[in-house]
């Protein structure tokens, strides 16, 4: 953790959303949160992404799931769903749910992203925790790089390759509002 703190030294002193300069304690708290959460999550890999110069971090996880533990990614209110392609993971879906949080007369939209690659027996899921749209936009280039960099090899030596789910056109975008 000390090495990560040192690497994030440029964040110390940067103004936070409330106008107060970021302290070493702010950095330490966010790093500690990532460590604590990583211990609780069943993920093949966990990344803490610092997409902007400031005390903002977002968790990204890579999960390997068997078909019986793949959640239903169907219609969800306010979620965009479209087909994506990864260099190594094959075809998949980008699921982007959005939630509106209302507080004291103002509203804030929070978004997450799940990249789901499923081959009929297993799934590789890259998930970014819910955050503000502006923060998520800064995470996307790194997520694209991650998606195109990783591959999964099965114990028998075969390589995992996701396929487009039935009923989804390769260029489709669906926004569910039910």
What are the φ and ψ backbone dihedral angles of 101, each rounded to 5 degrees? -110, 125
Tens-digit pLDDT profile for residues 73-115: 555 556 788 889 999 999 999 988 888 888 888 888 889 999 9
The count of domains in the chain is: 1
Q: Which of 169, 174, 165, 143 is nearest to 76 (CA)?
A: 174
Residue 2 maps to a domain: no
Please report the pLDDT score of residue 172 as a whole number.
47
C-alpha separations of 156 from 30, 140, 153, 177 in Å: 39, 33, 8, 42
Residue 100 maps to a domain: yes
Residue 3 maps to a domain: no
Model-level pTM?
Answer: 0.71
Give the CATH number for residue 93.
Answer: 3.40.1000
Residue 21 maps to a domain: no
DSSP code string of 104-126: TTEEEEEEEEEEEEE-SSEEEEE
Residue 25 maps to a domain: no
C-alpha separations of 176 from 21, 107, 132, 173 in Å: 41, 21, 20, 10
Q: Which domain holds residue 160?
A: 43-176
Tens-digit pLDDT profile for residues 37-59: 766 667 777 666 765 666 778 88
Please report the pLDDT score of residue 148 as a whole number.
92
Tens-digit pLDDT profile for residues 137-167: 888 888 898 899 999 999 999 999 999 877 6
């Amino acid at each position: 953790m000390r090495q990560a703190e040192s690497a994030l030294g440029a964040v110390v002193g940067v103004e936070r959303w409330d106008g107060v300069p970021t302290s070493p304690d702010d950095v330490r708290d966010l790093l500690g949160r990532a460590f604590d959460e990583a211990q609780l999550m069943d993920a093949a890999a966990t990344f803490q992404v610092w997409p902007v110069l400031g005390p903002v971090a977002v968790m990204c996880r890579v999960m390997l799931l068997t078909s019986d533990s793949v959640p239903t990614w169907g219609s969800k209110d306010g979620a965009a769903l479209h087909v994506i392609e990864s260099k190594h993971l094959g075809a998949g879906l980008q699921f982007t749910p959005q939630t509106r949080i209302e507080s004291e007369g103002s509203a804030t939209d929070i978004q997450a992203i799940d990249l789901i690659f499923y081959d009929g027996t297993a799934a590789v899921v890259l998930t970014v925790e819910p955050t503000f749209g502006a923060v998520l936009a800064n995470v996307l280039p790194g997520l694209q790089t991650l998606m195109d960099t990783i591959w999964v090899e099965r114990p028998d030596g075969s390589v995992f390759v996701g396929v487009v789910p039935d009923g989804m056109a390769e260029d489709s975008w669906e926004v569910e509002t039910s």
